[in-house]
């Protein structure tokens, strides 16, 4: 199986992100890493690809984004594609999807495209669907388990109530949840081999896209902090507490 994984390099996943004067996340010169959510799709890809398959990691981003590819390659990915182009700064979801879809199209004979459910920095959660649409491929989201049998994709799709069993033909675009697997640690050998693995760096024109194709149509006008949640009620009297809890749960129609 040949699998393409869409990965993202995000600034400082464990710290507090900084916003620039353009109301966008500061990405330049900030420490970053492979989006922790993407480690699950890389892991899923490595498991599905098996010993004879190939896992191609694709990212779009500034120079530092190559770090996301290296991390995925050190986990066991086979090759990386980095779309690096100044004109992509400030790209919105649609532009990013056009770029990534163009890269995927160039991967001859791919069977499956995997991505995280949403990025840990932007949280739009819409990119994989846009890529699927542009590639005219079926899209299954929130996969907590992905299997391929007889050329058919079988997915357990996480829902609020449990999970759905979904089947669809290949190739397809699938988003993988953090519950799908436990990502492996990169091994020392993997880290040392990563730099020997093929890595393509492509520009917008290499992908056959025009300046119009990569022009963002969204503009961030301003930023508002999310309203803080109201503090909960604290009941300190142990005599009173059980009754009040039951009352609350009854009102909420939970019990």
Partner 1 sequence: MATTEARRAAGTGSPAALDPLDFLDVDALLSDEERMIRDATRGWVRDRILPGIEGWFDRGEFPTEVAGELGQLGLLGMHLTGYGCAGTNAVSYGLACMELEAGDSGFRSFVSVQGSLAMFPIWKFGSEEQKQEWLPRMAAGEVIGCFGLTEPDFGSDPSNMRTAARREGPDWVLNGTKMWITSGGIAGLAVVWARTDEGIRGFLVPRGTPGFSTKDIERKLSLRASVTSELVLEDCRLPEEAVLPGVTGLKGPLSCLSEARYGIVWGAMGAARSCYQTALEYAKSRVQFGKPIGGFQLTQEKLADMLVELNKGVLLALHLGRMKDEGRVRPEHVSLGKLNNVREALAIARQARTILGANGITLEYPVIRHMNNLESVLTYEGTSEIHTLILGQAITGLAAFD
CB under 8 Å, gap of 24 or more: what pairs does 101-109 form?
101/130, 101/131, 101/134, 101/135, 102/207, 102/208, 102/209, 103/4, 103/58, 103/60, 103/202, 103/207, 104/4, 104/58, 104/131, 104/135, 105/135, 106/207, 107/2, 107/4, 107/56, 109/2
- Strands 163-169 vs 152-158: parallel, antiparallel or unpaired: antiparallel
Q: Which of 63, 147, 164, 247 binds partner 1 (CB under 8 A)?
A: 63
* By CB under 8 A, residue 21 contacts partner 1: no
* By CB under 8 A, residue 19 contacts partner 1: no
Beta bridge partners, 199, equal: 80
Q: Which is nearer to partner 1, 67 or 138 (CB)?
A: 67
Q: Which is nearer to partner 1, 70 or 98 (CB)?
A: 70
Closest distance of CB 193 from partner 1, Å? 10
DSSP code at position 8: -
Q: Which stretch binds partner 1 (CB under 8 A): 56-64, 160-168, 211-219, 229-237?
A: 56-64
Cis bond upstream, residue 171 (ω within 30): yes
Q: Which stretch binds partner 1 (CB under 8 A): 68-76, 224-232, 235-243, 245-253?
A: 68-76
Q: Which of 8, 40, 71, 157 binds partner 1 (CB under 8 A)?
A: 71
Give the x-and-dash track for 118-157 against partner 1 (CB under 8 A).
Answer: ----------------------------------------
- Strands 139-149 vs 152-158: parallel, antiparallel or unpaired: antiparallel
* By CB under 8 A, residue 66 contacts partner 1: yes
DSSP code at position 25: B
Binding residues among 162-201 for partner 1 as defined by CB under 8 A: 185-189, 191-192, 194-195
* By CB under 8 A, residue 80 contacts partner 1: no
């Amino acid at each position: 199986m040949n699998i393409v994984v869409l990965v993202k390099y995000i600034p400082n996943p464990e710290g507090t992100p900084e916003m620039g004067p353009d109301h966008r996340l500061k990405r330049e010169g900030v420490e970053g890493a492979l989006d922790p959510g993407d480690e699950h799709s890389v892991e899923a890809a490595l498991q599905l690809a098996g010993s004879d398959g190939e896992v191609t990691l694709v990212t779009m981003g500034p120079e530092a984004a190559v770090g996301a590819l290296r991390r995925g390659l050190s986990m066991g990915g086979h090759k990386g594609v980095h779309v690096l182009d100044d004109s992509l700064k400030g790209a919105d979801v649609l532009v990013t999807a056009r770029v990534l879809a163009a890269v995927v199209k160039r991967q001859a004979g791919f069977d499956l495209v995997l991505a995280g459910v949403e990025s840990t920095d932007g949280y739009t959660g819409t990119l994989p669907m846009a890529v699927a649409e542009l590639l005219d491929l079926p899209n299954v989201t929130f996969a907590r388990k992905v299997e391929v049998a007889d050329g058919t994709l079988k997915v357990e799709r996480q829902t609020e109530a449990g999970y759905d069993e979904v089947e669809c033909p290949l190739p397809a675009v699938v988003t993988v949840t953090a519950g799908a697997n436990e990502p492996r640690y990169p091994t020392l050998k993997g880290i040392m081999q990563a730099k020997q693995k093929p890595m393509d760096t492509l520009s917008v024109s290499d992908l056959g896209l025009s300046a119009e194709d990569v022009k963002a149509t969204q503009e961030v006008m301003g930023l508002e902090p999310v309203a803080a949640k109201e503090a909960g009620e604290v009941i300190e009297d142990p005599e009173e507490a059980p009754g009040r809890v039951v009352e609350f749960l009854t009102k909420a129609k939970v019990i």
